[in-house]
Structure 1
C-alpha cells in the first residue's frame, strides 16, 4: 500500500507537468489510487514487483519530463531498475514515444533520437526474458493466434478495459479470455470497430484537444506489451487481467484531470466526486475483502470463468493444500471432503495435479483403514 501511495504522489507530480490546476490533478490522482481495478495490483502480494517496477518507471518519467540532458542518465538508470523489477515496465519506452509526439510535438527523427535509449534497454530486456521464458513455448498454436489476428485481439482488449473502467463491478482475478478463445467468438472482429472509430475521432482532434488525445494514447501504451501483439506467459490463461492496467491508469487520471480543468461548472465537479466516492466504496467493501485469502479470492473468481481455467486450477490447489494439512493432522474425514472438491475443480489440462490429489486421497482412505477404496484411488 505504501508503494501505491508513493506512486500516486509521483503521478501527481507528473500530471502537474501538463495541467496547472492542482484541484483537477488531485482528483485525477485519486482516480488512479482508488479505482477498483487497481485493487488486484495492490492487494496481491506477489504483484509487489509490479508496484515496484512502476515506482521506478514513474521516477524515470519524472526525470525525463524535466527535458534536460543532465537528468537523462538518472531517468535511464531508474528505467533499468524498473525493467529488472518486472518486464512489463518496458511500456515506459512507449510512454516516452507518445509524450514526444503528442506533447512535445517532436518530428520523427527527433522522436526516434529521444526514444532510442529507452527502446534499446527495453529491447535487450525483452530478448533476455524471451530466452529465459522459452520453456513456456509461447508461440505454440495451442496458445497463440495468427499474426494478422493480433491487432484485433489488441483492439478487443481496449474495449474490455474501457468497459471495466466505466463499470468496475464484475472484476475478477481470472477472465479466461485467451487469444484462442476470443478469436473464435462472433464479436472478435466487430468489436474492433469501436476503438478504431474512437481513435479516428481523437486523431481529428489532436490539435484542438491535445491533452485528451495524449491521455488516450498513454492509456493504450500502458498495456500494449500485454495486449496480444507478442506472446507472453499468462496469455495461456487470459489476454486481459486487472493488474495489466496499473500503469495505463495514468492516462485515465490525465483524462479526468483535463476534463475537470476545462470546466468551472459545479455539477460536473459534483458528478466526478460522486463517481469517485462510489469507486472508493466499491473498492473498500467489495474488491478488497475478496483478496483476503486464497479461498475467498478463487471462490469468487471461478464464477467469472467462461471455461474451467486459471481460477479453477488455483482453487483446486488451495483445497488440495488444505486437505493435505488436515490429513497430516489426522482429520481424514474433512481431508477427504477437500480432496473431492479439488478433484472436481482441476481443469483437464492439469493432469499432474489431478493425479497427485487422487494419490493423496488414496493415502487418506488407507489411513482410515478403507483398504479397497484406497486401492481404487491408487
Structure 2
C-alpha cells in the first residue's frame, strides 16, 4: 500500500471522482423511483400551480417557514416542470456535495490528530456517503430538506474552522452567512448555535488562532443575539404555525419527558452506529435505549474532559440530534422517530470516526485497511438495497408494516397502492386494518373515504351509499370528497332502476349536487343538477340551473357549450 503524505496530495480530481462513483452506484435506483405516496404528490400539486415567489419567500404561506427548500421546488417547476427523475438527481447531487464537504472538513482535522495520511478523510467522507441511515433523506423527494440543511451547515462549519485556525474575519462572515441560510432551510438549524459555540470554545488553538478572550466574547455576543432573535420570533409566532403547534402540543410530566428524551437519544445513538433494521415508519422504541444514552453520555463527558479530539465531533452530533429528541417527546410529526433526522448528525459522526482511525502508514497498523474496506462495501450494499426498495412502492410499505405492524397509517398507504393496482380485496383488507389500528384522529376521514372508494370499486353501489349514510346521517354534514363518491355511486345505479326508483334517486342526487355547489362554488354541479331536473321534466328549474351554470362557468369549461344548447332547447319549448 502506498501512503500519501500531506506535502504530496492526491490528484485534485481523484477524491471527487471516487465519491461521485460511490454515490451514483448506491443511489442510481433512486433516480427511477418516481413519486412516493407520502408528501411527494402534495409537493408536485403545490408547485405545479406556480405559486408567486412572494408566497415562497415570505412567512405565512405554508405550514413551515422553509423558504430555501420551497425555492428549490419552485425552481424545479420553472426549469424542468417538476420531473421526478431530475428532482431525485438533485437530491443525489446534494448528497455528493455534502460528502465532499465532509472530506474537506476531515482534511482540515488532520493537523489536529497528527495524521499525515490523506486517505483517512476519504474514509470519513465515504462513511457518510454510504451510511444507510441517509437513504431516506436522499431517495425521497420530500426528504430534500435535510441534504440542503447539511449543505449550508457543513459549509458554515468549514468556514468557522478556517476562522478558528487563521482568525480571518472574512471566514467568520462566510460562516455566519451559511448558518443563516441553514436557518432559512429548516428550523432545526437552531442546533447549529450550540454546535458553533462548542467549536469556538474547544477547537484546539494554533499559531494564528483567535485568543481565548476573543472566543469568549464571540460566544457571549452570539448568545445575546440568539436570545433577541428568539424573543422576536415569539412576538410574531402567529405567523409560525409549526412553532405554535409545538408550544401547544401535549407534554409529558418532567420525569416522563426525561425518560423519553433519554430513550430517544439512546435510540439515535444506537442507530448511528448500528442502523439496522432500516424502517421508514418508526413509532416505538425500546426503553432500554435510555441505558445506551446514559453510557454514551458518561463516555462522551470523560472524553471531552480529557480533550480527546474526536469526542468534539461526537458532541456536535449529539447537539444536532437534540431537535429530533424534542419531536419524540412532543410526538407532533408523522412518526416520532425518523432516520432522516440523523442525516446531518451522521456527517459529524463520520468526522469523529475518521479522526479516531489509526494511520496505516504507521508500523504495524496496516491491518486497519481490510476491515475498513469490508465495512464500507457492506454499508454501500445495504444502502443500495434500501435505495432500490424505494422503487417498489408496495414492497416498501410491506417492509415498513413488518417492522411497525401497529402503525395504522402504513396500511392506509399500501391500501391506496393496492387499489390503484386493482387489487381490490387486498386493498379492502388493508383499509380495514388501517381503521382498526389508527390512533391519529386526523387520519380517520381519509381512511373512511378510502374504505368507501373500495366498496365503490367492487361495484357495490348500494353498499357505498349505505356506508355513507352510516357515516353521515345528515347529508349536509358530509365533506365534498364523500359527496362526490356518493353521487358517483348513485349515478352508476341509475341505469339499473325502474322508472319510479330512478325518479326518486334522481331527486336525491339533485340534492347532492346542490350541496356540492354550495360547498365548492363550482358551476359544474349546477350543470349536473340541471341535467337531472330536465330528465324529471322540471323544465323551469332546469332552465334556471343551466342559465346560472352558464353565467358562472369559466370561458374554457368543457361543459359550457353543452349548457348553452340546453338553454336554447328549453327556451324553445316555451
TM-score of Structure 1 vs Structure 2, range by shorter chain: 0.7 to 0.9
Cα pair distance change 1:172/1:337, threshold 3 Å: closer
Which residue is 2:254 aligned to? Answer: 147
Which residue is 1:320 aligned to? Answer: 416
Structure 1 unaligned spans of 5+: none
Residues 199-228 of structure 1, C-alpha deviations (whole Å, 9 max, x = no match): 333333335452122122022012111212
In 2, Cα distance between the equivalents of 1:304 and 1:40? Answer: 16
In 2, Cα distance between the equivalents of 1:246 and 1:50? Answer: 6
Count matched residues. Answer: 352
Which residue is 1:132 aligned to? Answer: 241
Which residue is 2:453 aligned to? Answer: 360
In 2, Cα distance between the equivalents of 1:132 and 1:244? Answer: 20
User: What is the deviation of 1:172?
Assistant: 0.3
Higher mean displacement: 167-176 or 128-137? 128-137
In 2, Cα distance between the equivalents of 1:129 and 1:34? Answer: 39
- Is 1:351 the counterpart of 2:448 in the alignment? no
Equivalent position to 1:80, from 161, 174, 180: 180
In 1, Cα distance between the equivalents of 2:246 and 2:318? Answer: 27
Residues 128-164 of structure 1, C-alpha deviations (whole Å, 9 max, x = no match): 67831267465443xx322343333232223212322
In 1, Cα distance between the equivalents of 2:224 and 2:160? Answer: 12
Which residue is 2:401 aligned to? Answer: 302
SS of residue matched to 2:304 = coil
- Is 1:255 the counterpart of 2:346 in the alignment? no
SS of residue matched to 2:109 = coil
In 2, Cα distance between the equivalents of 1:120 and 1:158? Answer: 26
User: What is the deviation of 1:322?
Assistant: 5.5
SS of residue matched to 2:108 = coil
SS of residue matched to 2:326 = coil
In 1, Cα distance between the equivalents of 2:232 and 2:278? Answer: 31
SS of residue matched to 1:246 = helix
Which residue is 1:101 aligned to? Answer: 201
In 2, Cα distance between the equivalents of 1:172 and 1:294? Answer: 14
Which residue is 1:16 aligned to? Answer: 107
User: What is the deviation of 1:361?
Assistant: 3.1
User: What is the deviation of 1:314?
Assistant: 4.2
Which residue is 2:140 aligned to? Answer: 44
The alignment's TM-score, normalised by the length of structure 1, stands at 0.81
In 1, Cα distance between the equivalents of 2:124 and 2:383? Answer: 17
Residues 98-140 of structure 1, C-alpha deviations (whole Å, 9 max, x = no match): 2123324757944623643774597479756783126746544
Which residue is 2:376 aligned to? Answer: 276
- Which structure's CA Rg is the greater one? 2
Which residue is 1:338 aligned to? Answer: 427
User: What is the deviation of 1:277?
Assistant: 1.2
In 1, Cα distance between the equivalents of 2:148 and 2:228? Answer: 18
Which residue is 2:9 aligned to? Answer: none
User: What is the deviation of 1:7?
Assistant: 0.6
- Is 1:245 the counterpart of 2:342 in the alignment? yes
Higher relative contact order (CA 8 A, sep 6+): 1
SS of residue matched to 1:154 = helix
In 1, Cα distance between the equivalents of 2:311 and 2:428? Answer: 53
Cα pair distance change 1:126/1:294, threshold 3 Å: farther
Structure 1 contact 43–288 (Cα < 8 Å) conserved = yes
User: What is the deviation of 1:256?
Assistant: 1.9
Structure 1 contact 5–33 (Cα < 8 Å) conserved = yes
Equivalent position to 1:175, from 272, 282, 289: 282
Which residue is 2:317 aligned to? Answer: 219
In 2, Cα distance between the equivalents of 1:241 and 1:205? Answer: 28
Which residue is 1:156 aligned to? Answer: 263
Structure 1 contact 159–195 (Cα < 8 Å) conserved = yes
Which residue is 1:228 aligned to? Answer: 326
User: What is the deviation of 1:65?
Assistant: 1.8
The alignment's TM-score, normalised by the length of structure 2, stands at 0.55
Equivalent position to 1:195, from 282, 285, 293: 293
Which residue is 1:29 aligned to? Answer: 125
Structure 1 contact 24–256 (Cα < 8 Å) conserved = no
In 2, Cα distance between the equivalents of 1:232 and 1:82? Answer: 23
